[in-house]
Structure 1
Amino acid sequence: MRIHLSSVFVDDQDKALRFYTDVLGFVKKHEVPVGKDRWLTVVSPEDPDGTELLLEPDGHRAVKPYKTALVEDGIPAASFAVDDVNAEFDRLRGLGVRFTQDPLEMGPVTTAVLDDTCGNLIQIVHSN
């Protein structure tokens, strides 16, 4: 068994697609109309057949309170592996990305947390 799909709830699929592709560097995998929304996934360009991230609309009544609570408590909605958190932090900050946690060594890992502009905090991490 392996993870095939994970999702992050977004407040605007177009804005999310731009952020996750143009800024974070993922590539679009699927875009299928589903009513007024889309089944919209992105993948790592390093593993195009790997785990897909669904940019899922946050329209369900349970989602907004959930997202708000996570952000208020500083809890990331997802965690992405990078080769070097400090280098990625510098690159993303140079693109105007807002971080809620600067790079921090925590034992065997270094992490940082960014705002995805779509209502989520996202953690980036590498093993030390």
Structure 2
Amino acid sequence: MKIKLTSIYVDDQEKALAFYTGVLGFTKKADFSNGPFRWLTVVSAEEPDGTELQLALNDNPAAKAYQQAIFKQGQPALMLFTDDIKGDHERIKANGGAFAMAPTDVTGSTIAKLEDGCGNLIQITELARW
């Protein structure tokens, strides 16, 4: 088995697409509509055939409540991994990303947190090299 897709709720798909591609550097993978429904995914530019991230509109009460609750608790809705957190931190800041927490050493890793502007907190993690 493989994980090929995961989803994150967003309050604005166009704004989310601009953030995940323009600020984080992902690539748009799928984008099609059926009436009011829009299927929109992005993928890592480093792994174009890798796991897709669906930018799902939070247009139902359960999705919106979930998204708002985890954001309010400071819980990341998405965790990304990198081998160069300081370099990615600088690149993302230069692209307009707003960090809620700069790279910080914690047990076994260095983490940073930023908001996607669409209702989510994202954690970027670089695992410690032993």
TM-score of the pair, normalised by structure 2: 0.93
Partner of 1:74: 74
The secondary structure found in structure 2 opposite 1:67 is helix
Runs of 4+ with deviation above 3 angstroms? none
The secondary structure found in structure 1 opposite 2:118 is coil
Identity %: 47
Partner of 1:38: 38
- 1:82-121 aligned at under 5 Å gives the runs 82-121=82-121
Quote the offset at 1:116 in angstroms.
0.3
Quote the offset at 1:110 in angstroms.
0.7
TM-score of the pair, normalised by structure 1: 0.94
Greater shift in the superposed pair: 87-96 or 100-109 = 87-96
Greater shift in the superposed pair: 62-71 or 8-17 = 62-71
Structure 1 residue runs of 5 or longer lacking an equivalent are none
Partner of 1:13: 13
Greater shift in the superposed pair: 32-41 or 71-80 = 32-41
Greater shift in the superposed pair: 52-61 or 64-73 = 64-73
Output the aligned Cα RMSD: 1.1
The secondary structure found in structure 2 opposite 1:2 is coil
> Deviation digits for residues 20-70 of structure 1, max 9, x if unmatched?
001100001111113223111010111111100000000011112211111
> Deviation digits for residues 62-116 of structure 1, max 9, x if unmatched?
1122111111111000101112112211222223321112211112211111000
CA distance in 2: counterparts of 1:81 and 1:65, whole angstroms: 27
Partner of 2:122: 122
